[in-house]
Amino acid sequence: MEALLAISIGVLVAAAVYLMLARHVLRFIFGLVLISNAANLTIFTAGRLTEGMPPLIELGQVAPDPGVANALPQALVLTAIVIGFGLFAFALILMFRAYTTLGTLDSDEMRIAEPREDDA
Amino acid sequence: MSWLLTIPLVLPFLTAVAAFLTRESDWGRKVSVIGNVVFLGAAVLLFSHVYDKGVIAGQMGGWPAPFGITLVADYLSAVMVVITAITALAVSVYALSDINTRKEYLGYHALFNILIGGVTGAFITGDLFNLYVWFEVMLISSFGLLVLGGSKAQIDGGVKYVTINLVSTILFLSGVGLLYGMTGTLNLADLALTVPALENQGLVTVVAMMFMVAFGVKAAVFPLFFWLPASYHTPAFSVSAVFAGLLTKVGVYALIRMFTLVFDQDIGFTHTVLLWVAALTMVTGVLGAAAQNDMRKILSFHIVSQIGYMIMGLALYTPLALVGAVFYLVHHIVVKANLFLIAGVAERIAGSTDLGKIGGMYKTAPFLGILFLIPAFSLAGFPPLSGFWAKYVLVAAALEDQAWIIAGVALLVGLLTIYSMTKIWAEAFWKAHPEGTDPTLATLTAAERRNLLLPIGGMAVLTLIIGFFPQPFVSFAETASMQLLDPSPYIETVLGEAAQ
């Protein structure tokens, strides 16, 4: 199970890095989504994987049985997904504004804040 | 005593809500100033308590550490909260005249106070994942502030700022996940106990490097700093000032915290990397500044250069060097935020911050000239201003440690800083105004003069106080550095005596 997840994280990161190296900022954003999911899977995998052992406490006991699924990484991933979603929404809107005000999505063409020496 | 910790944390958010609800009336900006006065009071209360009693900690929701979220303030955290409050108050007064009603309607004051809340949270949290959350709070509000108004330059700078910061955030998050996987805890004090006991120290170093890169982006160190000079000169001056003063310093704080408390096993590797990074950051920052011809761009590159000094203090990792780093951190926030505020006034009265288009302000606005000279000379390290003592301690620490190269670099960069500051002085204040007009402070209304110059004057006075009476500040930094190098009081306070 760990091996499978590790490989898929690797594939996600590779695809994300490929996308993020593009000058097109929309591709960059898609890469960002992939890599943030890779990060979430990393937390999930690092926090111990179990199968069919929900972290429930039996009636009459005070602690769960040893070996149950770890609920904390799932809580962390949930938080990270929510935050990531908010940031992604902001980034998308920003790119849209960039397209409408700057007229380009090529990061090399965005030179308003730092004009080239010759056209300044 | 956990209320001492929660009040400074909750206040900025309450202020933000109130400021948002009243943003269409005059009250929005007043709420922001009042809120920040109260915030300063709460911060000073926290500080005086920590100063008397040492480290204090509070467990949120009554869950004992290391299971719940811990808030903790040692000397370093406490002084950072106070300096955050001072900067926030100064900038909120300045914003009374700097932010137009449209930006106020769009929620400037709310975003600003959320930013302050996020910065405070990052300083006093004792939990790694919670630190991530505060970074996000800070990040999303800084995104909003940066592009508020939506000019072309802002959107352009914003794209670069947002993208690189998101990448660093994801790296940070992955690091948190891996560290949790190895240790099973996220509490910083608990990590300080469990990380040295791990079998595979090589993996710890790998994770440490992930944190170094993630925080390095936030702190704008070489070679991860390019986003900073690409974006810091685009938003409103109040926004630039608070970013310049506080945001990168949160990255530096996180580096200092993690690399003294948790990642202090493989110093031979991690802190050597940091030392090279520090030297290169100082040099590239100051050379970048020398090539610029706009006040805000010069100052932006100088932030990068000054970050190098703080990292140098951490990298040398001797008691004296950490004293220098803490002292530098505090002095730098005051001075740098102030310089950006002054650039804002210069733009107001002379029409631009481009050094080619302005001039003559020494003749017509000598008072502003004096106000500029104080932080500028302090930044360059002229005795007896605050920057001199900060640099003196750091260079002394480097010489004591026989780190000749870094000591030489620090001194050389200090000289080049003087070059940039005299350039601004000569161009903006000394030479005649190119269009023949005389920029004077009289063009501002009385209210504008009060709102813009009062915070600048206040922070200049603070710079002078640190400069002329450095002893209490240095001995405070000494205790802070002692707590960083021997974190056992920190760990005991968080986890209780039993954990030791």
> Chain B partners of A76 at a C-beta cutoff of 8 Å?
129, 176-177, 180
> Does residue A94 fall inside a structural domain?
yes
pLDDT in tens, A37-55: 999 999 999 888 888 888 8
pLDDT of residue B214: 94
Coil, strand or helix at B59: strand
Model pLDDT, residue A103: 84
Report residue B497's pLDDT band, with 50, 70 and 90 as the boundaries.
Answer: low
Calculate the CA dihedral of residues B350, B352, B358, B364 and round it to 10 degrees: 20
| Residue A118: pLDDT over 80 | no
Q: What is the mean pLDDT of residues B119-136?
A: 93
With a cut of 80, say whether residue A69 has pLDDT above it. yes
Domain CATH code at residue A46: 1.10.287.3510
Tokens 């490097």 map to which residue?
Answer: B209
Give the CA count within 13 Å in the CB-facing half-sphere of B131.
Answer: 26
Per CB-CB distance under 8 Å, the chain A contacts of B166 are 32, 36, 87, 91
Q: What percent of chain A has pLDDT over 70?
A: 97
Q: Considering the domain boundaries, does residue A30 fall inside one?
A: yes
Highest mean predicted confidence (pLDDT) among A3-17, B17-31, B336-350 = A3-17
B461 Cα to chain A: minimum distance (Å): 33
Question: Does the residue A43 lie in any domain?
Answer: yes
Chain A residues within 8 angstroms (CB to CB) of chain B: 20, 25, 28, 32, 35-36, 38-40, 42-48, 72-73, 76, 79-80, 83, 86-87, 90-91, 94-95, 97-98, 101-102, 107, 110-114
Instruction: Provide the shortest C-alpha distance from residue A42 to chain B (in Å).
Output: 6
Short-list A91, A92, A113, CA closest to A102: A113
Calculate mean pLDDT across residues B145-150.
88
Tokens of B163: 């993208």
How many domains is chain A partitioned into structurally?
A: 1
* Alpha helices per DSSP H over B351-385: 361-364, 366-380
Q: How far apart are CA B209 and CA A92, in angstroms?
A: 30
Instruction: Indicate the range of A10-14, B43-47, B159-163, B443-447 predicted with least confidence.
Output: B443-447
Instruction: Assess whether pLDDT exceeds 80 at residue A119.
Output: no
pLDDT digits (tens, 9 = 90+) for B332-391: 999 999 999 999 998 888 888 888 888 888 888 888 889 999 999 999 888 888 889 999
CB pairs under 8 A between A and B: 106
Evaluate whether residue A19 is within a structural domain: yes
Please give the ipTM for the structure prediction: 0.92
* A chain contacts of residue B155, beta-carbon cutoff 8 Å: 94, 97-98, 101-102, 112
Q: Any idea which residue has 């609800």 for tokens?
A: B21
pLDDT for the residue B380:
87
> Is B170 within 8 Å of A36 when comparing Cβ atoms?
yes
Domain spans, chain B: 266-468
Residue A35 lies in a domain: yes
Q: What is the mean pLDDT of the segment spanning B282-307?
A: 91
Task: Give just the sign of the alpha carbon dihedral B127, B179, A43, B160.
Answer: positive
* Chain B residue with Cα closest to A83: B136
Domain that holds residue A40: 2-51+70-109
Instruction: Report pLDDT digits (tens) over B166-189.
Output: 999 999 999 999 999 899 889 999
Say how far apart CA B295 and CA B219 lie, in whole Å. Answer: 21
Q: A117 lies in a domain?
A: no
Residues of B in contact with A43 (CB under 8 A): 173-174, 176-177, 180-181
